[in-house]
A = this chain, B = another copy of it.
Amino acid sequence: MARVSRSAILQDYRTRSLLESTRKIIAAHGFDAVTMDRVAAQAGIAKGGIYLYFRNKHELIVAAIEEIASEMLRGIETRVDPRASPWKRLCQLVCGQIEVMEQHRDLLRTLLLDRRHLLRRTGGGPSRRLLKYRERHELHIRKILEEGIRRRIFQPVDPAPVAFYINEMTVSTAQRRVLGLAPSSQKAEVEGLLRFLSLLLRDRQSTDPKS
């Protein structure tokens, strides 16, 4: 069993500490408030120390976003029971996504309003790393759709664009909530969205999202 060296632990701790500080600042004041000074101070590290762990400010921010994106995705995926029916899984996914996003509402307020980092390239080359998370999530939706269509549970829609739309609608719903613009409760909104999806994918006669 590999013994973890003390320095590796410290290294790891520092990295986490920096990412957490960064995330907190982003959540509280937005990307423009992320200054190396502030991050370092909050992480209890000297300013120059950040550069031992991250090449530059952009890398730090992207890493912080990636971490939270990854965590959210994991959170969503664990809420989906792989043995459930496609429709059930879709419900769990959409509902889970909104719940998870709501949990991280402070951070998401910034993340959704300010997507400058999505496409910006790093020093090394083009960096669309952040888009990967979105793609992975869409793929998840698509798999569910495909199974549902195969099993004649869903209408025979084109799974790729529909997966895209479902995700966008879910994100939009969450965004509206997070920005404080939602007209109704979370529960009502999720139900509304699921009813909408049910209308679309399932038989006209059975639009009960619970089933």
Q: Which of A155-177 contact B (CB under 8 A)?
A: 155, 157-158, 160-162, 164-165, 168-169, 172, 176
Which of A131, A158, A164, A179 counts the most B-chain CB atoms under 10 A from its CB?
A164
Chain A interface residue number, banded:
20 to 34
Are B113 and A199 touching (Cβ within 8 A)? no
CA distance A169 to B162 in the complex (A): 10
Confirm or deny: A183 has a beta carbon within 8 angstroms of a beta carbon on chain B: yes
Closest to A113 in B: B115
Are A172 and B179 touching (Cβ within 8 A)? no
Judged by DSSP, the binding face of A is helix
Minimum C-beta distance from A194 to chain B (A): 11
Residues in B whose Cβ lies below 8 Å from that of A179: 118-119
Are B165 and A196 touching (Cβ within 8 A)? yes
CA distance A195 to B158 in the complex (A): 10
Residues in B whose Cβ lies below 8 Å from that of A168: 168-169, 172
Q: Given A155-B199, A169-B165, A169-B169, answer yes or no on A116-B119 (Cβ-Cβ < 8 Å).
A: no
Residues in B whose Cβ lies below 8 Å from that of A114: 113-116
- Residues of A whose CB lies within 8 Å of any CB of B are 30, 32, 112-116, 118-119, 131, 155, 157-158, 160-162, 164-165, 168-169, 172, 176, 179, 181, 183, 189, 192-193, 195-196, 199-200, 204
